[in-house]
Amino acid sequence: MSDTRRRVKLYALNAERQWDDKGTGHVSSTYVERLKGVSLLVRAESDGSLLLESRIQSDTSYQKQQETLIVWSEGDNFDLALSFQEKAGCDEIWEKICQWFGIVVKLQAEFRKKS
**Tally of CA atoms within 13 A in the half-sphere of 69 that contains its CB:** 9
Give CA–CA dist 61/72, Å, rounded. Answer: 6
Mean pLDDT within 79-83: 97
Single pTM value for the model: 0.84
Instruction: List the domains of the chain with CATH numbers.
Output: 6-114 (2.30.29.30)
User: Do residues 85 and 68 make contact, with C-beta atoms less than 8 angstroms apart?
Assistant: yes
pLDDT at position 49: 97
pLDDT at position 29: 92
Dump pLDDT digits (tens) for 21-43: 999 999 999 999 999 989 999 99
